Structures are given as structure tokens and as C-alpha cells.
Amino acid sequence: MARFKFLLCLGAFFQTTTATDPAQIDLSTRVNEVEQLQGLVVQFSDLIAAGKKMEADFSTKVSSMFNLVNVVWERQDKLDDRMQAHVECSTGEGGSSEFKLLQEQVSTLTRAFVKRADAFDTCCLDQISLKEENSKLQQQILKLTGEKSGLQKKAENAHEGFQKAQADIELLKKKLYDLMKLADVKRQKEAVEKILKNCPLSRSANLTLLSNGKMYFLSHPITANWSVANETCAKMGLHLATLTDHADFEIVWKHANTTGHDCLWWLSARNLGVGGEYNFRWHDGTKLEETSSLWREHASKAGCVYFLSRPYKKLNGLSCTNDAHFICQLPPSA
């Protein structure tokens, strides 16, 4: 509304100045025109203030402002022509200088208005650019969200496949363990049969009665792991030797030395403990105490028990899977 009134007043002013012959305008007329222009300047200033308040809705105002600027430029050109004519026709200095001052004020306000319009236009372009950038970012977010969902699905499928593969591996390990166990049993049986085949004589012919009144069988030169040695003794109606006291151990150790070799000899004691727990037991269930003086100093105390014919007269521990000579003993009731 303020802009419309301003345009009406500006149009009325130029109609008045156009209809009057410049040569006939006197000083009082120019003063009235100056006052009218001052009123227009005030209205123009009010319009600038109103424009500042309307910055929030600048996108709809920029077009109107540019139209107004075009009108001001056109009117200013006419004003310049008319003011030049007034200056040339005027005989008074006061009116001319005041009119020039008014012209400068109008030019200053016009430049400020154009600058403000340019700023509005820049803001508008920036807003459009930001909207376009935001739209691109939204599209990228949607694309990445879709890719994320696809990757999550692939990860879930891979995890399921990994779990299935783990289950298959555990099953294969169990089957392999069972096969290895069967193979061990088969090898053990074959080893026992081979040992027995190499000992064709009767059990009594291979037994030696020692001074402690007990009968023993020494496997030299045959060697086997502890399990095969234990089963071989059992096949012969014997068991691995049980030496629970120093007297029996001394007698058997001396007899083993007659073989003339530094041999390892399996005995019946082995560790039945779980998870490294100490629980060494002889064939008859008697416990071989951890503090027993039969143990060699710093003995390993693991696996199965053996002794070395020379030079140590003590017990030691060794993994049951190792091969060694063995000593069988005739049970008291046999």
C-alpha cells in the first residue's frame, strides 16, 4: 500500500512538471516541488523500512522491488532532465543548491535500494542452491540406506553360513576323532598280536622268579606305548608291574640292568587325574603318593610311570604315547 501511494505521488509530480513551461516556473513553484520531493523521500525511506521487515518473505518481494527500481531509474532520468532544466532557468542560487542536494539524496537512496535488492537476490539464489544440495544429500542418504540394508542382509547370510560351517567342522572333527580312535584301537591290537607272535613260548617259560618271590616278564628287545604294553600283559594273563615299595623296586631294577642296555621300562602306574590333577594309581588301585621317595627329584609326574635301568634308580613320568620296554607281573592269584 505504501509503495502504491508513493508511485501515485511520484506520477502526480511528474505530470505537474511536464504540463508547466520551465521558463515560467518561479522560485515559489520550485520550493513547492522541492517539498513534494522531500515528502517522496520520506515515503521512500518508509518503504525501505517496510522492506526490511519483509525480508522473511523476500522471495515474493524481489520481483516487485526490481519493477520499482526500474520505475525509479526511468523517473530519475526524467528528474535529471527536468532538474537540469530548472537549474538552467533558475535565477536564484538557493533553489538550485537545494535541488541538487535533493537529487543526491534520491541517488543515494536508489543505490541503497538496488544494493538491498541485489542482496535479496543473492540470498534467494543461495537458498535455491541449498535446497538443491539438500535434495542431492537426501538422495545419497536414501542410496546409502539401501546399500546398508543390503550389506546387513549379506552379513546375516554370511553369519548363518559361518555358523553352519562351524557346525559341519565340529561334526567332521568328531567323525575324525572317532576314526582316529578306531585306528588307534586297530593299531594297538595289531601291535599286541605282533608282540605275542614274537613271544611264541609259553608264559611260564618267559617269566623270571625274583628274590622277592614274584614272577616278572621283561619285553626286551620289544617296545610299545603304554596302552599296547598294558594290553599285551593282559593277553598273557599278566599285568604291568606294580612296585609300591623300595625292596621290590630294588630287585626289579637290578634284574632290568642285566639286559645290558640303558632302557626305559613301563610300569603299571599312571595319572588318572582330570585337568592336570595329580592322581597316580598302580594296577591294584594303590595310590603313588606325590611325596613318595620313589619319585626322582624334579620328576615330570605326568602321563605314565617308567624307570630308567641306568643310571637313575628312581621313577619318572612320560607321555603314555611314547614307546618303551615294559615289565609284566604275574598276579598273586595266578
Q: Give the pLDDT of the chain (334 residues) as one tens digit per residue.
A: 545 555 555 555 545 544 455 545 566 666 676 666 666 666 666 666 665 666 556 656 656 666 766 766 676 677 666 666 655 555 445 556 766 777 777 778 777 777 776 776 677 777 788 788 878 888 888 888 888 888 888 888 888 888 888 888 888 887 777 777 667 667 666 766 666 666 543 455 478 899 999 999 998 888 899 999 999 999 888 999 999 999 999 999 999 988 767 789 999 999 998 888 899 999 999 999 999 999 998 888 889 999 988 777 899 999 999 999 999 999 987 5
**Which of 106, 88, 89, 127 has the alpha carbon at shortest distance from 41?**
106
The helix-helix angle for 58-89 and 93-197 (nearest 10°) equals 150
The type of residue at 292 is: S
Please, where are the H alpha helices in 198-258? 203-206, 226-235, 246-257
Residues 299, 278: Cα–Cα separation, whole Å: 13
DSSP string, 165-210: HHHHHHHHHHHHHHHHHHHHHHHHHHHHHHHHHT--S-HHHH-EE-
Cα torsion angle, 15, 16, 22, 24, sign:
positive
Residues 13, 53: Cα–Cα separation, whole Å: 28
Q: What is the pLDDT of residue 269?
A: 96
Q: Which three cell numbers stand for residue 167?
A: 557346525
CB neighbour class for 51 (10 Å; exposed up to 12, middle 13-18, buried from 19): buried
Residues 240, 331: Cα–Cα separation, whole Å: 10
Backbone angles phi, psi at 308, to 5 degrees: -105, 125
> How does 168-178 read in b/e, with b if 16+ C-beta sit within 10 Å?
eeeeeeeeeee
In the block, cell 603318593 appears at: 289
Q: How many other C-beta atoms are found inside a 10 Å radius of the C-beta of residue 240? A: 25
Please give the domain boundaries of the chain with CATH numbers for all domains.
2-140 (no CATH), 203-329 (3.10.100.10)
Q: How far is CA 186 from the centre of its chain?
A: 50
pTM equals 0.45
DSSP bridge partners of 29: none
